[in-house]
Each structure stands twice: as C-alpha cells, then as structure tokens.
C-alpha cells in the first residue's frame, strides 16, 4: 500500500511541483499554484492519516529520485553529502584514503588504490572487500557508507576487509588527496610526446599545459592526447584545453536551451601554446561530455586527427542549482554543439521505447569541418581512423558492468607472479582460462532476442503452445546461452584489451599500465605511425 501511494499519487504531484524550478511562471502561474496547493494538502494528510508511521524525509527523497528517473540520468537531486562530493570531484582535492571504491549494501570494494596514498600504504589492494570501518559494519549503514572513509588529514581509521575469503584488518592514516587530471605524460620516441588527460576537473588545463610544455622542451615535435575513458567534467576546462591548440577568439562550443540566459557561445579567451604542432586525439566509447567537446571541436576545426572508436555521445550540459538546506538540483539545462554546429547526443531520453528505454539515435545529419570535410551529429564523435579493438559492444559492456573482468583480474593477480611490466603477455591459454571463468560465474547477459522470446512465451498466448513448442523454447534458450560463451571469441580483441588494462593496474598501478601502452597499444602505435607520415596526416585534414 505504501509503495502504491508513493508511486501513483505522490510522485506525479511532486514531479509537477519540482518542475517549476525550470519553468517560467508567466504562462502557467495558476496551474503551478494549483498543483503546489494540491501537493501540500496531500503530503500533510498522508503523513497525518496513513495507517503506519511515515518518514516524511524518506518519502520526499524517494519521490524526488523516482521523478527524476523519468528524465535523463544526469539530472539529479544532491543532498548535502552529494553536494560536497560534487565539489570534491570538480576540485580534484579531498581528504581521505586515496582510492576509488564501489559501494554495495554490505561492503565497499576497493576498485583502485592510488600509488603512494594511504590505502596503498596500508596494503589495501583492488578487490579487497571492506566490511567494517572502525566499529561500524557496512551492512548497518543505510546510505553513503563510503563517506566514513573520508575525514580530516592526519586522522586514522581502522578497516576490516575480506581478501580472497580471508578476513583481515589494517589502519589507514588519512591524508590530503590530490586527484591529477593528467596522471601521465612521456616521450614515445625522439619527436613524439604522449599525454593522458583522464578527467576535466579544475586542474585539467593547468596540468595539460605543463605536460605539453615539458614535452616540447624534451624535443616533442608531435603530440598524442589520450582522452580514452575520460568521462568529462567542467565545460570551462574543456574550452581551455582546446584553447591550448587553437588561437584566441575561436568558437569552440555553443549551448542552446529553452531558457534564454543559458544560450551561449563559448570562444577561446587565452593565448594558445602551439597552433601548429601535429596533433592526434585518442577517444573510445567511454570518452564523454567534455572529452567530446575537445575531440569534436578539434576535429571540426581540422586541428587534430581523431583515432580510436566512436565516443559515448553525451551532448547535454548540466548546472547545479541551489535549493534549500544546503541541497542542490544538478539539472540538464541545455545541449551543446561543437564548432561545426553538430550535437553529438546519442540517446534520446525524451522519446523512449515500449520498455521505457531511451531511443538510440540512428539517423545522422552531415556537417562540414573548417576545411570542408564531412562529419556527423547524433552519435558521439566518429574518429577519422577507427581502431577495431577500441570499439565497444554490448557483451564487453556487460562483462565490465557486471564486474566479471574486474573479478577475474583479482583472481589472476593472486595466482600469477609478474615482476616487469614489459614481460606481461596475456596469451591464448589465459583467454581460455577467462572463458572458463565466465562460464562458471554468475554472469547473466540477456540479449534482445532472448528478452523478446521470453516475453512472447510469457504472454497471453502462451497457453496455446503445446509441450513440443515449450521444449523447443527451452532448448533454444540453452543454445543461446552457449552461443554467448562462443561470442567471447568474436570480441576477443576488445575483451582482451580490457582484461590487460585491469590486470596491469593490479601489479604496476596506472603508471605501469601507461608504460605498457606505449609499447603495445594499437591506437597509440597507429597514431605514432600517422604522425611520422606528414603527408598522410595533412591529407586526412584536407
């Protein structure tokens, strides 16, 4: 009964009420006032008269979050803790244990400890499952258990964790943590520099500029800028990073909104570092938002050759709007358009299929770069040179989101010795081992065909099918399961790339991973070869 009240009555009314934050009072003042009055009355009567005790704060929190789920995934309500986390993410500084973590109901999993920071010093490894922080069991904490890991510098916290089935404990001394936007840069050869830009926090431009200048001082005549796996961040940093390679006064991105004040043209405002140095930008399916502004506009301005795989396709801009009691609404306010005028948003959250999923854009419009090359909108940034192993597919995505690759890497680490990063080789025997691991795991990946088949057999007409049809149905599902294991071979290159990356971080941290990439990564090697062929590089940009 309680759930029905929340879903059917409260949510629609709250939805109408909260949407006024982005509405104009001019045309619908009466309707807005009416809905506010209805909501206020309903909320009061519900809490006064419902048969069981209600928690007004929880009811409201549930209602808000359910309402926002009907919009896009980037429009979110931020409570006071969320607001602080949002600031930390953009600033690139906080005080804590220095590790990426993933939270569950009864545990917190260490995803990646930063080299030389408290978690690493205390001996915590990727895959460790924290079950208690101090005297508090994670299972007893309702929300945001990972906040317990944060705290003032020079304070200690006891941690109980499980590693490979064995319960252990350690003490972590919190420190001030600085999250680098550029964790790595290095010369690939005598004349080519390589820069990894991993996020667009407030340090992005400063650190990218420093890396660029250092590499030029070391003799770099060509640059590879790696934006793979960069989820984005601050719009201002995306514009300023682009500005490092293009002149002052150049249009980089335009934002368009129904609210007139959010319609803006963003041009470069600083003197560039180098507008002539040959440049290749690497992207993949996890390069999003600010990464796509940089790569898309450098492509539109014919300033760089893009190499890799089609980017994520997030062309929506968010802004935090202050609410009461220290809370905020991070709301999508506009779409952004790269220098050529294209919007690379891939999913249409305002037109959904019968299952409520956002529709993926499949119809693309043509645009022209500065030199007249054809580029398209609506599906991320398409590279000038595509790398097959960098492409994403639903199977690989399912293995990543289901943490199958992560968990296999954990087992690999505790069963294999590796002393030197350049000695690492993930061979066919290892891949067979991975396939066996997948087949024995709880990995559950449902294809569209399976889903449609199950829905058909569970429909109103299912009673019409005889035993033979039912038996064939079950047999077909079994064969589909087998074929999914076989599909691991079809996507071996993409899967193996993700396996290698995850495994190498366990032994050598990110620095070792990037050292390995310089010698073995197909996209980097392709970019390096291209930059050494000036004629081909120029032909692509013509």
Contact 134, 157 (CB under 8 A): yes
Active site includes 441? no
Cα 102 to Cα 86: distance, rounded to the nearest angstrom: 16
Active site includes 24? no
Q: Which is the catalytic residue, given 128, 300, 377, 384?
A: 300
Helix, coil or strand: residue 480: helix
Neighbour tally for 141: CB within 10 Å: 17
Q: Which is the catalytic residue, given 125, 150, 199, 314?
A: 314
Q: Which residues contact 514 (CB under 8 A, 6 or more apart)?
A: 183, 184, 186, 196
Cα 326 to Cα 345: distance, rounded to the nearest angstrom: 31
String of DSSP letters for 254-284: EEE-SSGGG-EEEE--S--S-SSS-EEEEE-
Q: Which is the catalytic residue, given 287, 289, 291, 297?
A: 289
What are the tokens at 413? Answer: 């680490």
String of DSSP letters for 49-64: H-SS---HHHHHHHHH
Cα 497 to Cα 513: distance, rounded to the nearest angstrom: 12
The b-or-e profile of 315-328 (16+ CB within 10 A means b, else e) is bbbbebeeeeeeeb
Active site includes 260? no
Q: Among residues 311, 316, 314, which one has the least CA distance to residue 299? A: 311
**What are the phi and psi torsion angles at 253 (to 5°)?**
-150, 150
Contact 196, 185 (CB under 8 A): yes
Contact 172, 97 (CB under 8 A): yes
The residues annotated with a catalytic role in the active site are 289, 300, 314
């Amino acid at each position: 009964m309680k759930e029905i009240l929340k879903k059917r009555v409260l949510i629609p009314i709250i939805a109408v009420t909260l949407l006024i934050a982005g509405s104009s009072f001019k045309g619908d003042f009466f309707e807005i006032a009416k809905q506010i009055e209805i909501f206020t009355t309903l909320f009061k009567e519900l809490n006064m008269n419902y048969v069981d005790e209600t928690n007004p704060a929880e009811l409201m929190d549930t209602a808000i979050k359910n309402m926002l789920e009907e919009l896009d995934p980037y429009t979110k309500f931020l409570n006071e803790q969320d607001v602080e986390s949002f600031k930390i993410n953009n600033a690139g500084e906080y005080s804590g244990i220095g590790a990426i973590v993933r939270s569950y109901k009864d545990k917190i999993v260490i995803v990646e400890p930063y080299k030389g920071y408290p978690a690493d010093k205390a001996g915590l490894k990727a895959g460790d499952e924290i079950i208690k922080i101090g005297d508090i069991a994670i299972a007893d904490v309702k929300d945001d258990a990972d906040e317990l890991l944060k705290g003032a510098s020079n304070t200690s916290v006891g941690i109980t964790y499980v590693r490979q089935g064995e319960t252990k404990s350690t003490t972590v001394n919190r420190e001030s943590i600085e999250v680098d936007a550029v964790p790595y840069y290095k010369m690939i050869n005598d004349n080519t520099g390589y820069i990894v830009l991993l996020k667009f926090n407030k340090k992005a431009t400063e650190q990218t500029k420093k890396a660029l200048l250092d590499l030029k001082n070391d003799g770099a005549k060509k640059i590879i800028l790696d934006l793979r796996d960069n989820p984005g961040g601050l719009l201002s940093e995306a514009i300023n990073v682009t500005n490092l390679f293009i002149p002052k006064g150049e249009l980089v991105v335009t934002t368009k909104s129904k609210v007139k004040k959010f319609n803006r043209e963003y041009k470069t405002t600083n003197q560039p570092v180098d507008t002539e140095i040959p440049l290749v930008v690497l992207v993949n399916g996890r390069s999003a938002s600010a990464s796509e502004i940089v790569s898309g506009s450098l492509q539109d301005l014919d300033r760089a050759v893009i190499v890799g795989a089609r980017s994520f396709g997030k062309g929506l801009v968010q802004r935090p709007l202050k609410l009461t009691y220290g809370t905020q609404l991070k709301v999508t306010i506009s779409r952004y358009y790269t220098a050529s005028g294209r919007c690379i948003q891939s999913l249409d959250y305002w037109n959904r299929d019968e299952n409520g999923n956002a529709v993926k854009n499949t119809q693309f419009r043509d645009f022209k770069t500065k030199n007249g090359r054809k580029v398209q909108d609506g599906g991320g940034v398409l590279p000038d040179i595509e790398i097959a192993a960098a492409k994403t597919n639903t199977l690989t995505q399912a293995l990543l989101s289901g943490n199958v690759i992560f968990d296999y890497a954990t087992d690999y680490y505790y069963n294999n010795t590796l002393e030197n990063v350049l000695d690492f080789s993930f061979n066919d025997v290892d891949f067979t081992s991975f396939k066996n691991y997948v087949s024995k795991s709880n990995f559950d990946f449902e294809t569209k065909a399976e889903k449609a088949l199950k829905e058909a057999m569970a429909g109103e007409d299912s009673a019409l099918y005889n035993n033979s049809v039912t038996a064939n149905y079950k047999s077909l599902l079994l064969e589909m399961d087998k074929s999914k294991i076989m599909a691991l071979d079809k996507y071996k290159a993409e899967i193996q790339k993700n396996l290698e990356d995850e495994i190498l971080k366990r032994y050598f941290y990110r620095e070792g991973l990037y050292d390995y990439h310089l010698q073995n990564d197909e996209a980097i090697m392709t970019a390096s070869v291209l930059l050494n062929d000036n004629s081909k590089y120029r032909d692509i940009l013509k």
